[in-house]
Amino acid sequence: MSRHESDYNLVAATKFSPNGSGKKAGPMDIERIFGENAFGMEEMENRLPKEIYKSLRATIDKGHTLDPTIADVVALAMKEWAVERGATHFTHWFQPLTGSTAEKHDSFITPNKGGGAIARFSGKELIQGEPDASSFPSGGLRATFEARGYTIWDPTSPAFIVENANGSYLAIPTAFASWSGEALDAKTPLLRSMEAINTQALRALELFGHQGITKVASTVGVEQEYFLIDEQYYFRRPDLMITGRTLVGAKPPRGQELDDHYFGSIPDRVLSCMLETEKELYRLGIPVKTRHNEVAPSQYELAPLYENTNIACDHQQLIMITLQRIARNYGMVCLLHEKPFKGVNGSGKHNNWSLGTDTGLNLLEPGDNPHDNLQFLFFCAAVIKAVYRHQDLLRVSVASAANDHRLGANEAPPAIISIFLGEQLEDVFNQIESGAATKSKQGGLLGLGTPVLPDLPRHAGDRNRTSPFAFTGNKFEFRAVGSSQSVSFANVVLNTIAAEALDEMSDILESKLADGADLEMAVAAVVRETVHESKDILFGGDNYTDEWHEEAERRGLLNLKTTVDALETLVSEKNIKLFETYGVLSEAELRSREDIWVEQYFLSINIEAETTEHMARTMVMPAATRYLDSLVDTIQKGKKAGVSTKGVKLVADHAAAYVDELQVALGELIDQNKELGGDSVHEKAHHMLDNVIPAMMKVRHATDRLERITAGDLWPLPTYRDILFVK
């Protein structure tokens, strides 16, 4: 069936009004709506008895053990609040090792003896649920016939309402564990890691003489990049529907070369979608701060403010869900894949990580004179030490088949982990290593040469967009996280490795103080030793260059280019010891994750390969041969009519050669798809990496060449030109 390209483009461009429904929305009252669909602190205080609220608040704020006797009262208040908002069901909302979220809905309704029904929700139902654990990845922790698992209420993350046109339900953030107590989710190790960093940071602060600080927590703000495309094209692309990315597709004449999309004016339809998305996020209590066009056509970014890491990770999952849900209201689809389109920028999400106390102190705030800020230098050095020692774990935390397309592609950080400190801090640490830090470089004022523009303060160092791990004022920005990934494990790693570094550095500091050294001299010595040990991880230049790759190799830094390379390091003796020492993951839990993630890599590539084979066989090859047939027919008719067909013959020769190329490549891919590479999941993963991916690339190469010459009305797929530029 012929494709009428202009018709599809017309529909895509004109079908939907700028605000989806066609009705003009009223002004958004952020202060009024913020958090109205979240059972947060204010709502708890209003609905709970004073003593019960106080007890629950101690658990949330101070990490005190939850008093189970309060559960029934909390459950009743939560149920009443939810029912007032139209909820008929509740679910324990959890994050299994699939990378997404899971939920099983149960009704509040309980039949009574009179033949009617009443809404009930008990403390027991609040605290514990029992989904089928055999239906989720366990990496060998559970046999497939062992089905019992538990969801356990996380009181530190607010319950929330999920609305639908036909009703709503109460979602309760929970952990997820097996019958024998192993963590089967992303949340449990995250909570454990937050306890680890709390313990070690408090210990360090005590050595600095702090009193009154009872809790230290990591905080995170996550920038989410994504694409919005018209659903007319999405549903006509089997590759996008099944894998989230285009497996074939030639580069359009125009991509991002003009640099005119980044921070450009947001199209009305997209802006309307963003506004509704933000409204829903505000109602959930998610503090969305920033929106803008990203670098690639049809690519955008949304970023919230910093929150407690556990809550931020929950909110990040909700942001992705909400983006995808709201986009459909506007006839669009939100693509979260790291590389949906070849030849244009992919998507990531920068994980901005810091440490803060319950008294409001940011432990990574350098102040105006970092050289004088001993506490900052100590904590910053701890992060440097942690990243240097555990480059492998940070690379593992961002490893996926999808993210392999981004890392190292001169649009995202390379797979080599390094730290950018900025000119000011790098100079301070160089001074410390050489002896003592006596000054801090100042930025001065930015004079713009005209009296109508004010002189602005200039930072003491520039930023580095090529660095995978950069200090950016009062936080570290981990830039390698993939756009579709849960950020939980990345923060598990950051929390745990920082806890280890603080533990070891506190041991040394404690020993020096016990030997009679004063605090200033002792801290300076610890920081000096730490920087000297870890300085190879510091790099302020262009991370994209071949020269840096060569330099990194000379320094002994790891370059784990693929997910397969990275995952093989996860269960090293060093890493098992780390996670067990700080009670974050047992060896069995760690090995289970390695098994799951290797299998997910294999399955992802396998699905992509079979989809590529299907599209090449049933869509591309028939279209190409029909086009070739039309050219041959034209040549034959020209001969009969005595008309020259040299140009047509040349095109036909090219088409025939590309069809032959595709057939050979397709045959190789079919053969590789039949092979699995071995019995173990690791053998299968290596087969995908070494054999299947190269075969897929050959099919793509031939297909993309055919797209460039095949008649537009015969080509069966929306092109990049359509998808990226028709809005």
Q: Annotate 600-667 with DSSP letters as a single string.
A: HHHHHHHHHHHHHHHHIIIIIHHHHHHHHHHHHHHHHHHHHHT---HHHHHHHHHHHHHHHHHHHHHH
Q: What pLDDT is recorded for position 227?
A: 97
Q: Indicate the range of 30-34, 370-374, 437-441 predicted with least confidence.
A: 437-441
Q: What is the pLDDT of residue 615?
A: 97
At residue 174, φ and ψ (nearest 5 deg) are -140, 160
DSSP state of 454: -
Decide if pLDDT at 166 tops 70: yes
Determine the Cα–Cα distance for residues 623 and 714; give it in Å rounded to an integer: 6
Chain centroid to CA 300: 15
Look at residue 256 in the predicted model and tell me its pLDDT: 67
Mean pLDDT of 285-309: 90
Q: Is the pLDDT of residue 1 over 50?
A: no
Render pLDDT for 56-66 as a digit per residue (tens, 0 to 9).
Answer: 999 998 888 88
Assess whether pLDDT exceeds 60 at residue 4.
no
Candidates 101, 189, 191, 181; CA nearest to 149 is: 181
Q: What is the average pLDDT across 582-607?
A: 97
Residue 647, pLDDT score: 92
pLDDT(200) > 70:
yes
Alpha carbon distance 610, 603 (integer Å)? 11
Cβ proximity of 254 and 724 under 8 Å? no
Helix/strand/coil (H, E, C) string of 172-233? EEEEEEECCCCECECHHHHHHHHHHHHHHHHHHHHHCCCCCCCCEEEEEEECEEEEEEEHHH
Amino acid occupying residue 35: G
pLDDT at 23: 54
DSSP state of 617: I
For residue 472, give both structure tokens: 């950016």
Over residues 482-537, the pLDDT tens digits come to 999 999 999 999 999 999 999 999 999 999 999 999 999 999 999 999 999 999 99
The answer to whether the beta carbons of residues 224 and 483 sit under 8 Å apart is yes
pLDDT for residue 435: 79
Instruction: Dump the DSSP string for 272-327.
Output: HHHHHHHHHHHHTT--EEEEEE-SSTTEEEEEEPPEEHHHHHHHHHHHHHHHHHHH
More confident residue, 397 or 32: 397
- The residue behind tokens 């996926």 is 400
Could you give the percent of the chain with pLDDT greater than 70?
91
216-222 and 351-357 as β-strands: parallel, antiparallel, unpaired?
A: antiparallel
> Across-strand partners of 226?
300
Amino acid 452: pLDDT:
67
Buried b (16+ CB within 10 A) or exposed e, 544-554: beeebbebbee
pLDDT the model gives residue 141: 84
In this predicted structure, the answer to whether residue 6 has a pLDDT above a threshold of 60 is no
What does the CA dihedral 371, 375, 380, 384 come to, rounded to 10 degrees?
100
CA 512 to each of CA 210, 214, 305, 374, 503: distance values in angstroms, whole numbers, following the listed order: 18, 25, 39, 15, 14
Neighbour count for residue 633 (Cβ, 10 Å): 11
Residue 349 carries which side chain, given as an amino acid letter? K
Residues in contact with 440: Cβ distance below 8 Å, sequence separation at least 6, in sequence order: 368, 369, 370, 371, 372, 424, 427, 428, 460
- Distance separating alpha carbons of residues 591 and 140, to the nearest angstrom: 9
Please give the residue that has the higher pLDDT: either 353 or 304. Answer: 353
Which pLDDT band holds residue 2 (cuts at 50, 70, 90)? Answer: very low
C-alpha 471/C-alpha 440 separation (Å) is 16
Q: Quick one: pLDDT at residue 278?
A: 95
How far, in Å, CA of 543 to CA of 539, rounded? 8
DSSP string, 343-405: TS---B--EEEEEEETTS-BTT---S-GGG-HHHHHHHHHHHHHHHHTHHHHHHTT--TTGGG
Helix, strand, coil percentages (3-state) for the chain, rounded to 5, are 50, 15, 35
Task: Judge contact between 371 and 437, C-beta under 8 A.
Answer: yes
Q: 263-293, pLDDT tens digit by residue? A: 677 888 999 999 999 999 999 999 998 888 8
**Hunting for tokens 């929305």 — which residue is that?**
25
- Please report the pLDDT score of residue 572 as a whole number: 97
pTM of the predicted model as reported, rounded to 2 decimal places: 0.94
Residue type, 209: G
Residue 148 CA to residue 142 CA, distance in Å, equals: 9
Question: What is the tens place of the pLDDT at every residue in 135-156?
Answer: 888 888 877 777 888 999 999 9
Amino acid sitting at position 15: K
Q: For 299, how many CA atoms within 13 A lie in the half-sphere containing its CB?
A: 25
Structure tokens at 643: 């008309």
Q: Return the number of other C-beta atoms located less than 10 Å from residue 337's C-beta.
A: 22
Mean residue pLDDT of the chain comes to 90
Partnered with residue 92 across adjacent β-strands are 172
Distance CA 444, CA 452 (A): 19
Question: Based on the number of CB atoms within 10 Å of its own CB, is 163 exposed (0-12), middle (13-18) or buried (19 or more)?
Answer: middle
Phi-psi region of 410 (alpha: psi -120 to 50; beta: other; left: phi over 0): left
Contact 635, 645 (CB under 8 A): yes
- On the 0-12 / 13-18 / 19+ scale of CB atoms within 10 A, 288 is buried
Instruction: State the Cα–Cα distance between residues 99 and 414, nearest whole angstrom.
Output: 23
Express each pLDDT in 81-133 by its tens digit: 999 999 999 999 999 999 999 999 999 977 666 666 566 888 899 999 888 88
Contact 6, 720 (CB under 8 A): no
Q: What is the mean pLDDT of residues 400-423?
A: 91
Half-sphere exposure of 435 (CA within 13 A, CB side): 2
